[in-house]
């Protein structure tokens, strides 16, 4: 057994000493591969040298092409425009600017007249309705004037005209003549009131009818200037054409902004004025009835005195 152990130890020693040698022998073939690859890599520069002149035009074209492609970029950047209404107004032609300013002023006038007429008609209708309620139970012109008290309304003017005609026609037996003369005075007062409440309506009608055409004139003028600019620049690029056309169309937009409210306000106050004049007609009828009642009372009292005598 001892010999067997010695033999196994001897075998292990041989294997231990032989393993480094085997490892070295296995590593040696790698070195020739590397040393052979080194000479093979040496001709590479020689073969690459003839190709360098061929590659240089491609490289030059590669360098030129980005420059050529990047050339249009500044044109796109410079073509950008601020199309806000104020910028378009400032960039418009002097004629188009004058049209826009005129239309803006017309719009201001429209709203001013509308607000003023609303306040005037509302106040007048309230006062006249209140005055009619006050004289509803009056039996004579004097009682009506005392009940009314206030001055400045059309009803007070109608009552004053009726009493004046009654005094001036005292002693005249023809009641029909007195009533006709009083009706003539009433008609003058009513027509004057109608002219008063219709003040400013003509301005609204004019603005509503003419503003779209004035704006259209500004648009036509602006488009003409745009076409002239296109012919001078010799390009149909949208960045060049669009600003001028937008400035021209802004004139039409302002014209519509001025015209549409003017037409609406005019139609509204036409209806309100008609309603107010109907109330004025009621006031005229009330004054005429009071005058007729006073005349009848005067004649009845005179007949009673004559019968008593």
Both tokens assigned to 117 = 């007429």
List, for residues 92-116, the tens digit of each pLDDT value: 678 888 998 999 999 999 999 999 9
pLDDT of the residue at 285 = 92
Residue 123 to residue 121: CA distance in whole angstroms: 5
Q: Are 130 and 143 in contact (CB under 8 A)?
A: no
Whether 156 contacts 144, CB under 8 Å = no
Tokens of 210: 């003419």
SS3 call for 81: coil
Tell me the mean pLDDT in the region 201-227: 91
Of 77-91, 131-145, 166-180, 275-289, least confident by mean pLDDT is 77-91
Share of the chain above pLDDT 90, in %: 36
Is the pLDDT score of 174 beyond 90?
no
Q: If we measure between CA atoms, which residue out of 296, 283, 63, 42 comes closest to residue 161? A: 283
End-to-end alpha carbon distance in the chain: 191
Q: What is the pLDDT of residues 246-293, one digit of tens each?
A: 888 888 899 999 999 999 999 999 999 999 999 999 999 999 999 888
| Per-residue CA distances from 33 to 24, 39, 45, 56 (Å) | 15, 10, 20, 35
Residue-wise DSSP of 4-22: HHHHHHHHHHHHHHHHHHH
């Amino acid at each position: 057994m001892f010999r067997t152990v010695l033999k196994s130890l001897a075998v292990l020693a041989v294997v231990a000493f032989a393993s480094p040698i085997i490892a070295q022998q296995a590593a040696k073939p790698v070195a020739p591969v590397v040393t052979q690859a080194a000479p093979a890599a040496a001709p590479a520069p020689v073969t690459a040298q003839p190709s360098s002149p061929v590659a240089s035009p491609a490289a030059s074209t590669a360098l030129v092409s980005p420059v050529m492609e990047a050339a249009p970029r500044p044109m796109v950047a410079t073509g950008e425009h601020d199309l806000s209404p104020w910028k378009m107004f400032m960039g418009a032609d002097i004629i188009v600017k004058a049209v826009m300013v005129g239309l803006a002023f017309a719009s201001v006038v429209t709203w001013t007249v509308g607000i003023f007429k609303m306040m005037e008609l509302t106040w007048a209708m309230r006062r006249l309705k209140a005055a009619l309620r006050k004289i509803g139970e009056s039996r004579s012109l004097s009682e009506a004037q005392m009940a009314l008290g206030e001055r400045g309304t059309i009803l007070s003017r109608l009552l004053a005209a009726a009493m004046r005609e009654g005094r001036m026609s005292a002693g005249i037996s023809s009641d029909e003549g007195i009533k006709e003369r009083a009706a003539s005075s009433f008609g003058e007062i009513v027509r004057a009131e109608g002219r008063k409440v219709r003040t400013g309506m003509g301005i609204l009608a004019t603005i509503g009818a003419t503003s779209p055409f004035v704006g259209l004139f500004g648009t036509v003028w602006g488009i003409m200037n745009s076409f002239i600019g296109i012919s001078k620049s010799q390009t149909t690029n949208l960045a060049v054409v669009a600003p001028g056309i937008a400035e021209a169309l802004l004139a039409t937009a302002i014209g519509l902004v001025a015209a549409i409210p003017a037409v609406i306000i005019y139609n509204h106050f036409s209806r309100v004025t008609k309603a107010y004049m109907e109330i004025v007609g009621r006031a005229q009828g009330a004054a005429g009835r009071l005058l007729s009642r006073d005349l009848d009372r005067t004649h009845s009292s005179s007949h009673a005195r004559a019968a008593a005598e």
